[in-house]
Structure 1
């Protein structure tokens, strides 16, 4: 596997953890290639790690089964905000190819209602809103579960309806912000420029919005007597 090509993008580790590969670097003395990556979901204060390409491409044995240590998630979209952050920190964002991926070629790599906290749950819903709505429309139009399981489709539909209803009611003050940022795809920097705000003000607005949505998600679970977060045993 030494000749395996490693591209920027999301990868799932054998234990289920998702990471984002930023780039490759070459040791000036040994010529050994190193993979630069960061954990996903992205933290507010980014931390970057390195692994040798040999280690990254290795295989491991799990419960008697041989698995790739890291497997690329080709269906997981990189948000405009993530690309902007990488560029601000001196990394090049992923190169987009002019080709349309068919959602039903393979099962979607996204997981639903598996966040570790309600804040992460809220952030995940917003950042994947457009992708999720396209997935929902595709399934409804095709009248089948395209690139998604039946149980995940039910979770997807439930979350989309909850978020849309919240934006029409208790979170209506954030509706325009949400539309511009997560539907039209404006980055924090471009949103700030469009509204003549500094970036810190937009960051603060986003934190307030995510916190308000997280509270609603928690209140929904408490009212229904269930938890839609990742179970402790799955951490």
Structure 2
């Protein structure tokens, strides 16, 4: 497995955690390849780690079953804002391939309603909105479940409807911001330039929006006596 090709992108660790591989590097003393990665969801103050390629590509034993340590998540797309941040920090963004991703090539690698906190849940809904909406419309159009399980489709539909309704009502003040950033795909830098404000102001607006959405998600769960996180958290 040491000869396995590692590309920039999302990978799921054997324990369920998701990381983003930024690039590969070579140790000048040993010549050994190392994988540079960061955690996902991306932190406001990012930190980067390295693992030897040999370790990254290794197998582990889980409950008597042999699994790869990191599995590539081909259906997760990095946002333009994340690409811009990587470039600002001196890393090259992912190489774009000129081809259309086929949603029904494999089951969706994304985990629905499995975030560790409501803030992470809110970020996940926004950053994956376009992909989730396309998947939903594809399933409705084809009248079949395309690359998604029945239970995950129900969660996907529920999340989309909740976010759309929130933006029409309680979060209506953020609707234009959401449209430009997460539907049209403007990066923080481009949004700031379009509105002639500094990037710090856009960061502040985004934090307010994510916090407000996270609070709504939490209030919904409390009202229904249900937790849509991977595990209960105390906020």
TM range (shorter): over 0.9
* Structure 1 match to 2:59: 59
1:47 aligns with 2:44: no
| Separation of aligned partners in 2, 1:207 and 1:232 | 22
| Separation of aligned partners in 1, 2:217 and 2:57 | 38
1:128-147 to structure 2, matched below 5 A, reads 128-147=128-147
| Separation of aligned partners in 2, 1:204 and 1:232 | 27
> Cα deviation per residue 1:93-132 (whole Å; 9 max; x = unaligned)?
1001011121011001111111111111111111111000
Please give the TM-score of this superposition, normalised by the length of structure 1: 0.97
1:181-192 to structure 2, matched below 5 A, reads 181-192=181-192
| Separation of aligned partners in 2, 1:5 and 1:183 | 32
* Structure 1 match to 2:166: 166
| Separation of aligned partners in 2, 1:131 and 1:204 | 25
* Structure 2 match to 1:79: 79
Count matched residues: 233
The secondary structure found in structure 2 opposite 1:220 is helix
| Separation of aligned partners in 2, 1:119 and 1:32 | 38
1:33 aligns with 2:29: no
Computed over aligned residues only, the root mean square deviation of the Cα atoms, in angstroms, reads 1.1
1:177 aligns with 2:162: no
The secondary structure found in structure 1 opposite 2:146 is coil
Q: Where does structure 1 differ by over 4 angstroms across 4 or more consecutive aligned residues? A: none
Task: Give the gaps of 5 or more residues in structure 2.
Answer: none
Please give the TM-score of this superposition, normalised by the length of structure 2: 0.97
The secondary structure found in structure 2 opposite 1:38 is strand
| Separation of aligned partners in 1, 2:94 and 2:81 | 12
1:212 aligns with 2:212: yes
Q: CA deviation at 1:231?
A: 2.0
* Structure 2 match to 1:92: 92
